[in-house]
C-alpha cells in the first residue's frame, strides 16, 4: 500500500504489520498528549510536584534523554569534524535519535514550565545568572540544528526526491553539514554541562553541591563526559534493537566495536573523575559545609548501593568490557555493556534529580516522598512513544542505513556467474 514511499531496495514489513506495531504506541502518545493537555490547562497542581519537590519524573526524563541524545552531536562531531568516515553508516540514525530525544525533552519541558502563551518570556527575560537560561537557549538552538540536519534525510524520501529542487537543497545542505555539526557540538557541550552545573551550584543542598573551576562546578564537566560516553552506547543499543526486530544486519559489526571503544575510553575517564570527585566531596566539600556525607546514604531506599551500582557496576565494568578487544568482540557482552552504561547514566540523573530533593538538608527537614501522578507518568510514556514512532516512521520511509541497501547489492561483485537456472530456458 505504501511501497511507493519506501526507498527502492529496502525490504520493509507489510503495511498491515507496520500499523499493528505503531497502533499501541499511538495509543500511548494520545494518552500522553491528553495528560499533558490537562497539565497545561489546569496547571501543575495536577502533578505531585510542589514547591519543595519542584523537579520530578519529567526533569529526570529530560536529563536522561538529553544525555542519550548526545550520540547525535558526538557522532556528528566524529564524522564531520574528526573525519571518522566509518560513522557515515550510522549518522542518519544518530540524527533521528537525537531529534527524538531533544524534541521530546523540549516538549515535556514546555509542559513542566507551563504557561505556553508566555513561552517567549524565557528568551526575552532571561536570568543570566541561571544555568537554566543557558540550557534553554542551547537546547532551543540545538533543536533547530537537529531539525535542519533531519531535513536532508526527509528530502531523500523516495517520493520527495523526485523533485529536483529538494534534491539540490539536500545536497547543498549536506555540504554545509560540518558547520552544523561543529555548532551542534558547541551547543550540546555547553547545555549538557549546564544541566550538571545546575545541581553543582546548589549551595543549600550539600548532597549535590560541588566545587569546580571558576563558575563551573565539577558536575558541569562530569555531565558532559558522561553524555559523550552514553551517546554512542544508546545509539548502539537502538541499532541493535532495530536489527533484532527486523532481523537484518544494518551496519557492519566493526562499527559496534568502534562505538564501544570510543565510549569505553570516555567512560573510563568519567569513572576516574567521578571517583576523584566523590572522594573530594566526601572528605572536603560536604564536611566543610557541616554535613556528614555518609548520613545521606542512611535514608532508604537511597543507600550506598546506588553509588556502587552507578560507578562500579554501570561504569567501571562496562568500561573494562569496551576497552578489552577480546571482551567487546562478543556481541552479547558489547550489548550488555551498552545497557549498563545507559542504566548508569539514567541512575546518575535520577540521583541528581530525585535523591537530591528527597534528602533533608536542615535538621528539622523531613525526608520527602514523591510519587508521580498519572498525568506525569502518562506524559513520560507519551514522550517515549513519540520517540519510538518518530524512529519507526523514519526507518520505514527514509534510508537510515545506507549499508542496508548496499549489502543486498554488494554481493554481485563476488558472483561467478552464468545465468541462473530460474531465469533461463536451456537451449
Kindly tell me which of 300 and 411 has the beta carbon lying closer to another protein: 411
Q: Which segment (166-174, 264-272, 318-326, 374-382) binds another protein by CB under 8 A? A: 166-174
Q: Which segment (23-31, 158-166, 275-283, 388-396) binds another protein by CB under 8 A? A: 158-166
Q: Which of 51, 300, 369, 426 binds another protein (CB under 8 A)?
A: 426
What does the alpha-carbon distance between residue 69 and residue 352 come to, in Å, rounded to a whole number?
19
For position 176 contacting another protein by CB under 8 A, the verdict is yes
Q: Cα–Cα distances in Å, from 255 out to 3, 34, 84, 203, 289?
A: 30, 40, 11, 43, 47
Query: Under a CB-based contact definition with an 8 Å cutoff, are residues 260 and 337 in contact?
Result: yes
Nearest approach in angstroms of CB 401 to another protein is: 13
- Where residue 47 falls (left for φ over 0; alpha for ψ -120 to 50; beta otherwise) is beta
Kindly tell me which of 174 and 289 has the beta carbon lying closer to another protein: 174
Query: Under a CB-based contact definition with an 8 Å cutoff, are residues 57 and 343 in contact?
Result: no
Task: For residue 125, report the phi and psi dihedrals to the nearest 5 degrees.
Answer: -120, 50
Judged by DSSP in three states, 128 sits in coil
The residue count for binding another protein (CB under 8 A) is 58
For position 214 contacting another protein by CB under 8 A, the verdict is no
Q: Cα–Cα distances in Å, from 397 out to 15, 350, 403?
A: 11, 35, 16
Q: How many CA atoms lie within 13 Å of 57's alpha carbon, on the beta-carbon side? A: 20
Q: What would the grid cell of residue 365 be? A: 527537614
For position 85 contacting another protein by CB under 8 A, the verdict is no
Q: What would the grid cell of residue 160 be? A: 520527495
Kindly tell me which of 120 and 364 has the beta carbon lying closer to another protein: 120
Nearest approach in angstroms of CB 55 to another protein is: 24
Kindly tell me which of 57 and 181 has the beta carbon lying closer to another protein: 181
Q: Cα–Cα distances in Å, from 249 out to 37, 42, 101?
A: 40, 48, 24
For position 216 contacting another protein by CB under 8 A, the verdict is no
What does the alpha-carbon distance between residue 95 and residue 83 come to, in Å, rounded to a whole number?
17
For position 95 contacting another protein by CB under 8 A, the verdict is no
For position 165 contacting another protein by CB under 8 A, the verdict is yes
Contacts with another protein, 117-146, as mask; x by CB under 8 A: -------xxxxxx-------x---x--xx-
What does the alpha-carbon distance between residue 225 and residue 67 come to, in Å, rounded to a whole number?
10
Kindly tell me which of 369 and 411 has the beta carbon lying closer to another protein: 411
For position 53 contacting another protein by CB under 8 A, the verdict is no
Q: Which of 2, 50, 172, 211 binds another protein (CB under 8 A)?
A: 172
Where on the chain is the footprint of another protein (CB under 8 A)? 3-4, 7-9, 11-12, 124-129, 137, 141, 144-145, 148, 161-162, 164-165, 167-173, 175-176, 179-180, 183, 186-187, 405-406, 408-427
Amino acid at each position: 500500500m505504501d511501497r511507493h514511499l519506501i526507498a527502492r531496495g529496502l525490504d520493509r514489513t507489510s503495511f498491515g504489520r507496520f500499523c499493528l506495531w505503531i497502533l499501541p504506541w499511538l495509543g500511548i502518545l494520545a494518552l500522553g498528549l491528553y495528560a499533558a493537555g490537562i497539565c497545561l490547562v489546569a496547571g501543575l497542581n495536577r502533578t505531585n510536584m510542589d514547591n519543595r519537590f519542584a523537579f520530578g519524573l519529567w526533569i529526570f526524563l529530560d536529563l536522561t534523554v538529553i544525555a542519550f541524545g548526545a550520540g547525535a552531536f558526538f557522532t556528528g562531531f566524529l564524522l564531520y569534524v574528526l573525519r571518522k568516515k566509518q560513522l557515515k553508516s550510522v549518522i542518519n540514525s544518530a540524527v533521528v535519535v537525537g531529534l527524538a530525544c531533544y524534541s521530546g525533552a523540549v516538549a515535556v519541558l514546555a509542559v513542566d514550565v507551563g504557561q505556553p502563551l508566555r513561552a517567549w518570556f524565557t528568551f526575552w527575560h532571561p536570568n543570566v545568572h541561571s544555568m537554566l537560561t543557558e540550557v534553554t537557549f542551547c537546547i532551543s538552538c540545538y533543536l533547530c540544528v537537529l531539525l535542519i540536519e533531519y531535513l536532508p534525510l526527509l528530502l531523500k524520501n523516495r517520493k520527495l526526491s523526485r523533485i529536483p529542487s529538494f534534491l539540490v537543497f539536500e545536497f547543498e545542505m549536506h555540504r554545509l553539514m560540518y558547520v552544523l555539526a561543529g555548532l551542534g557540538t558547541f551547543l550540546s557541550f555547553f547545555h549538557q554541562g549546564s544541566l550538571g552545573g545546575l545541581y553543582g551550584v546548589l549551595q543549600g543542598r550539600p548532597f549535590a553541591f560541588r566545587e569546580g573551576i571558576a563558575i563551573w562546578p565539577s558536575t558541569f564537566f562530569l555531565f558532559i563526559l558522561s553524555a559523550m560516553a552514553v551517546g554512542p552506547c544508546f545509539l548502539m543499543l537502538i541499532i541493535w534493537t532495530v536489527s533484532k526486530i527486523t532481523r537484518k544486519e544494518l551496519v557492519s559489526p566493526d562499527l559496534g566495536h568502534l562505538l564501544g571503544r570510543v565510549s569505553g575510553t570516555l567512560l573510563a575517564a568519567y569513572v576516574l573523575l567521578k571517583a576523584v570527585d566523590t572522594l573530594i566531596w566526601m572528605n572536603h566539600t560536604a564536611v566543610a559545609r557541616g554535613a556528614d556525607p555518609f548520613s545521606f546514604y542512611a535514608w532508604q531506599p537511597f543507600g550506598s548501593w546506588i553509588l556502587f551500582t552507578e560507578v562500579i557496576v554501570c561504569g567501571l565494568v562496562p568500561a573494562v568490557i569496551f576497552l578489552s578487544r577480546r571482551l567487546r568482540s562478543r556481541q552479547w557482552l558489547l550489548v550488555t555493556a551498552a545497557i549498563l552504561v545507559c542504566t548508569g547514566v539514567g541512575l546518575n540523573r535520577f540521583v541528581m534529580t530525585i535523591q537530591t530533593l528527597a534528602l533533608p538538608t536542615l535538621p528539622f527537614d523531613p525526608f520527602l516522598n514523591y510519587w508521580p501522578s498519572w498525568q506525569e507518568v502518562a506524559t513520560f510514556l507519551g514522550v517515549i512513544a513519540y520517540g519510538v514512532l518518530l524512529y519507526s516512521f523514519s526507518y520505514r520511509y527514509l534510508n537510515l542505513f545506507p549499508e542496508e541497501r548496499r549489502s543486498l547489492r554488494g554481493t554481485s561483485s563476488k558472483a561467478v556467474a552464468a545465468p541462473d537456472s530460474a531465469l533461463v530456458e536451456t537451449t
